[in-house]
Structure 1
C-alpha cells in the first residue's frame, strides 16, 4: 500500500498538470518580484547555464524580452493560444494530418480495417507520448528559466538575499 502511494505521488509529480502549475507559479512569482520590468531592458541574459539556452530563442537578447516571453507563454497556457499565427499552425497541422492519413490509406489499402485501426491507435499513442514528454521537458526548462530570471532580477537590484 505504501509503495503504491509513493508511486502515485511520483507519477502525479511528473504529470503535465503539475508541470504547468509549476511553470505558472514560477512566472507568477517572477511577475510579483519584478516590480519594475523596464529595469530588465538592456540587461544581457548572461552566461549562466540556465539562461544561455534562451539567447537563440529571444531576438533582442535581453532579460526584458525574455520576461515578456515567459509571461506570454503563461497566458497561452492559461487562456489558450488565440492568435492568427496559432490558427494558421492549427490549419497547417490539419492539412498535414489529412495528407498523412490519405497517404497512409492509399499505401495500405490491402490491410483490413481492423489492422488499420490498431495501427492508427498505436501511432496516435506514440505521438501523444512523444509530445507529452516533450511538453513536460519544455515546461520544466521554462520553469527553471523563470526562477533564474527572478533570482537575477533580485541580484540586479540588490536584494539577492531576500526570499531565496
Structure 2
C-alpha cells in the first residue's frame, strides 16, 4: 500500500516532471533531423489569431511556428540541465536597484513556504505543458515528413 502512495507522489514530483520534459525534448531532438523544415509550420492546427489592423481589416498570423517551439524547448532543456546563470545575470541587468529592493522586501513579508509551494506548483504545471508541446512537435514533425508510424 505504501508503494502505491509513493508512486503517486513521485509522479507529481518536480524532479520527475523535469525528467519527463528532458526526455521528451531529447526524443524531439533525436527525431527532428532537419529543423529548418519546421519553419512556418504551426504546432497546433488552430494557433492562428485574428488581428484587426487600424482600418479594421482582419489579418491572421501564427503565434509561433514549430521551429520557434523547437528552439524554445531546447533552450529550456539546456537551462534545466546546465543552469541559468546567464539568464539570471541578464535579468539583473534589466532590473533597477529599486525593483530589486522591492522584490527583497516582498520576500521578507511573504510566507516563504507558501511562496515556495506556489512557485513549485506553477513550475510543475509549466513543465507538464512544455513536455506535451515537445511530444506534439515530435509527432507533427513525423507527420510532416511522412513517417507518422515511427515508434508505434
- What range is the shorter-chain TM-score in? 0.7 to 0.9
User: How far apart, CA to CA, are the structure 2 residues paired with 1:132 and 1:78?
Assistant: 17
Match of 1:68 in 2: 71
- Flag the structure with larger Rg: 1
- TM-score normalised by length of structure 2: 0.79
In structure 1, runs of 5+ residues without a counterpart are 54-58, 105-119
Q: Deviations over 1:28-58 (max 9, x none)?
A: 000000011111112123325xxx49xxxxx
In structure 2, the CA distance between the partners of 1:37 and 1:101, relative to structure 1 (3 Å rule), is closer
Q: How does 1:1-164 map to 2 (within 5 A)?
A: 3-47=1-45, 52=47, 61-83=64-86, 85-89=87-91, 92=95, 94-100=100-106, 104=109, 123-164=111-152
Which one has the bigger helix percentage? Answer: 1
User: How far apart, CA to CA, are the structure 1 residues paired with 2:104 and 2:38?
Assistant: 45
In structure 2, runs of 5+ residues without a counterpart are 49-61
User: How far apart, CA to CA, are the structure 2 residues paired with 1:61 and 1:130?
Assistant: 28
Which one has the bigger strand percentage? Answer: 2
How far apart are residue 96 of structure 1 and its match? 3.1
In structure 2, the CA distance between the partners of 1:63 and 1:101, relative to structure 1 (3 Å rule), is closer
- TM-score normalised by length of structure 1: 0.73
User: How far apart, CA to CA, are the structure 1 residues paired with 2:4 and 2:100?
Assistant: 40
* RMSD, aligned CA: 2.4
Q: Deviations over 1:51-83 (max 9, x none)?
A: x49xxxxx9621111100000000000011132
Segments of 4+ in structure 1 off by > 6 A? none
Q: Deviations over 1:88-146 (max 9, x none)?
A: 435757533333367x5xxxxxxxxxxxxxxx6xx111001100000000000000010
For these two proteins, the number of residue pairs brought into alignment is 135
